[in-house]
Amino acid sequence: MRLRLALLIVSIICVSGAWGDAVSVMQQDGEWLVSGASYEATVGADGALTSMRVKQAEGEPLEFLVCNTSAPRGLYTYLAGWLPLGDVQQPEANVVTASAEKARVRYEFGEDAVTVTLENLADEQMSLLGIFAVEVNTISDDFGFFYALPMKGAWNQTAWYREGAKLAMEGRASVWGPWSEGYTVWQLKLNAGASATVTLRPGIQDEQEAEQVAKALEGNQEKPTDPEGPMWDMELLSRVPQTWPSETHLEEGVDTIFYEGRPFRGRPTRVFAYMGVPEVAPGEKVPAMVLVHGGGGTAYAEWVRIWNERGYAAISMDTCGNLPEGQAADRPRHEFSGPPGWGGWGQTDWPREDQWTYHAVADALLANSLLRSLPEVDPERIGVTGISWGGYLTSLIAGVDPRLKLAMPVYGCGYYLDTHFATPVKAEGEEGADRWMRWWDPSAYLKDAAMPMMWVTGTNDFAYWLPGLQKSYRDPIGPRTLCVTLRMPHGHGSGWALEELYAYADSILKDGTALPRITGQGRDGDEVWVDFESPTAIHEGHQ
């Protein structure tokens, strides 16, 4: 008996020595309990990594993940909802696998790291989600910048911080939140048939990291104050920003550039943009347009080319600190990124000049300044148009930048409490909601808009409802034109496809033919009528 016991002990030591003496994996009550040199972890019966606790020199290990009896489940698979992986096995001493019909995950536990490989066996996209505890209050990115949470973006590497401990995540993913009870979400998306590997490295913050975490948290604790003067410094924003050519994301027929933005959290920023100018005869100058994308959007070379083909110079910039690849929240951020968008939800307690709306408006004003500096552009013939969130920004910009000669908001407007976005405004709390409406709602600025404006939307727009639109278009002191289309789809492509946009711009910036103007309207029984003036014949009417 003694001989057999001694042999068994020797066997365990040999196996353990092959992959780290400081790691143990044991099954208990349907879960797999793991202990490494720097962490403790748990794999649940559904295959989720339900716990990731970082060990400290003193005290209990600190939990980084959130796990409930159903979703969220810590680090887990998501396919139109929580996707349990019920076949959990331990094929090797330091490996736990879990599988189901549509996915398979493999956890390899090392002394100081956990490697997670997820295979998507489904015929549609799925995600690996990590839900972080609210006590995790700071994040750093690929470029070594630290942010107090909430923060949105997409990076190849992130590190998460809590009370002196940290958890580094190596793997391309997006970060967003707050979600549910204030959680921050790490999300890696996998296309059908794809696989991806993520490495988790728990540890203790070093002195420099602790200092950066403290600075990030201190910045979020300063309550923002109302500006003593104008929100945006027009003298500053009227200066021509410095530009840099980009060596990536090149597009035919347009320039790919970065231009100087406003500082974000004390560091310089740059704005990615596409800019193009049509062929111009010597001495000739053309009109120009600033193009502001909406939610889910980015800088669009195609949009610039459309305006170039119509004889306009144009610039389309990303207002969220992203590069133009991937989809929405998956777009990568760069080392000179400003704050993420859209709306600035979760940012209302940040310093005023760090919030998204401040930067997005400043980006557009600087884009105008850049266009005005081009020798081929007539600075007295520049307009702005934007789609959805870009239409919201256009409504705001119209009341801020008097240099512009026209503004065309598409879908977007002000009076957010009369739109789909009333809920996220109110979710900022009484103080935050009041501050957002005072600072960032276009209704605070439209009364100063003196240029001609055309408001474009659909009768059934899901986001920007007609009552908010009506209040918005009644505020400016300049001429207004309405283009309200029955059942107009909501989107970038449909938003820039309307010929009325180009006809209206031509009528203001190129002395083109004016659009028809309604001079009277009424109803007789079940019939309605309008009187109108038009410089050209109306060939066809639509019901």
User: Are 78 and 115 in the same domain?
Assistant: yes
Closest CA to 488 of 440, 455, 525, 534: 455
What is the residue range of 264's domain? Answer: 234-533
Contact residues for 201 (Cβ-Cβ < 8 A; gap 6+): 112, 113, 167, 168, 170
Closest CA to 175 of 146, 199, 198, 152: 152
User: Are 136 and 270 in the same domain?
Assistant: no
Give bridge partners of residue 92 from the DSSP assignment.
95
Task: Specify if 405 maps to a domain.
Answer: yes
Angstrom distance (rounded) from CA 384 to CA 289: 5
Region 54-62 average pLDDT: 94
* pLDDT at site 8: 30
Using alpha carbons, list the distances in angstroms from residue 8 to 2, 12, 17, 182: 10, 6, 14, 49
User: Are 191 and 241 in the same domain?
Assistant: no
Task: Specify if 479 maps to a domain.
Answer: yes
Region 205-209 average pLDDT: 95
User: Are 187 and 239 in the same domain?
Assistant: no
User: Are 282 and 208 in the same domain?
Assistant: no
Strand pairing of 406-410 and 377-387? parallel
Give bridge partners of residue 202 from the DSSP assignment.
167
Dihedral of the alpha carbons of 401, 405, 411, 415, in degrees to the nearest 10: 40
Residue 148, H or E segment: strand 146-148
Angstrom distance (rounded) from CA 341 to CA 476: 26
* Tens-digit pLDDT profile for residues 1-17: 333 333 333 223 233 33
Q: For residue 327, what pLDDT band results from cuts at 50, 70 and 90?
A: confident
Closest CA to 435 of 202, 231, 233: 231
Q: Poorest-confidence range of 103-107, 155-159, 222-226?
A: 222-226
* Tens-digit pLDDT profile for residues 370-382: 999 999 999 999 9
Task: Specify if 391 maps to a domain.
Answer: yes
**Which range scores top for mean pLDDT: 217-231, 422-436, 517-531?**
422-436
Amino acid in position 389: W
Task: Specify if 204 maps to a domain.
Answer: yes
User: Are 210 and 263 in the same domain?
Assistant: no
User: Are 137 and 263 in the same domain?
Assistant: no
The total number of structural domains in the chain stands at: 2
* pLDDT at site 21: 55
Give bridge partners of residue 406 from the DSSP assignment.
383
Task: Specify if 11 maps to a domain.
Answer: no
User: Are 111 and 162 in the same domain?
Assistant: yes
Task: Look at residue 55 and tell me whether its pLDDT is greater than 50.
Answer: yes
Q: Give the whole-number percent of the chain exceeding pLDDT 90.
A: 76
**CATH code of the domain in which 365 resides:** 3.40.50.1820
pTM score, two decimals? 0.83
* pLDDT at site 541: 56
Region 128-150 average pLDDT: 93
Task: Look at residue 369 and tell me whether its pLDDT is greater than 50.
Answer: yes
Q: Give the distance from CA 197 to its chain's centroid.
A: 24
* Tens-digit pLDDT profile for residues 277-291: 999 988 899 999 999
* pLDDT at site 103: 97
Single out the residue in 167, 188, 216 at which a domain terminates.
216
Task: Look at residue 18 and tell me whether its pLDDT is greater than 50.
Answer: no
* Tens-digit pLDDT profile for residues 112-132: 999 999 999 999 999 999 999
* pLDDT at site 9: 30
Q: Give the distance from CA 433 to its chain's centroid.
A: 20
* Tens-digit pLDDT profile for residues 516-533: 888 888 988 888 888 888
Task: Specify if 10 maps to a domain.
Answer: no
SS (H, E, C) 466-489: HHHHHHHHCCCCCCEEEEEECCCC
Region 235-242 average pLDDT: 97
Contact residues for 431 (Cβ-Cβ < 8 A; gap 6+): none
* pLDDT at site 438: 95
Task: Look at residue 73 and tell me whether its pLDDT is greater than 70.
Answer: yes
Amino acid in position 82: W
* pLDDT at site 220: 67
Region 303-315 average pLDDT: 98
Mean residue pLDDT across the chain: 91
Paired tokens of 462: 């899901």
* pLDDT at site 7: 31
Contact residues for 441 (Cβ-Cβ < 8 A; gap 6+): 414, 415, 416
Region 64-81 average pLDDT: 94
**CATH code of the domain in which 191 resides:** 2.70.98.10
Task: Look at residue 354 and tell me whether its pLDDT is greater than 70.
Answer: yes
* Tens-digit pLDDT profile for residues 487-512: 999 999 999 999 999 999 999 999 87
Closest CA to 470 of 478, 482, 479: 482
User: Are 153 and 241 in the same domain?
Assistant: no
Q: Give the whole-number percent of the chain exceeding pLDDT 70.
A: 95
User: Are 44 and 182 in the same domain?
Assistant: yes
* Tens-digit pLDDT profile for residues 430-478: 999 999 999 999 999 999 999 999 999 999 999 999 999 999 999 999 9
Query: Taking the CA of residue 4 as centre, how many other CA atoms within 13 Å lie in the half-sphere pointing to its CB?
Result: 1
User: Are 210 and 260 in the same domain?
Assistant: no
Task: Specify if 541 maps to a domain.
Answer: no
User: Are 261 and 126 in the same domain?
Assistant: no
* pLDDT at site 383: 98
* pLDDT at site 540: 63
Q: List, as one string, the DSSP characters of 299-313.
A: --HHHHHHHHHTT-E
Angstrom distance (rounded) from CA 436 to CA 345: 9
Are 234 and 245 contacting, i.e. CB atoms less than 8 angstroms apart? no
Single out the residue in 216, 244, 270 at which a domain terminates.
216
Using alpha carbons, list the distances in angstroms from residue 525 to 518, 528, 529, 543: 20, 8, 11, 18
Task: Specify if 302 maps to a domain.
Answer: yes
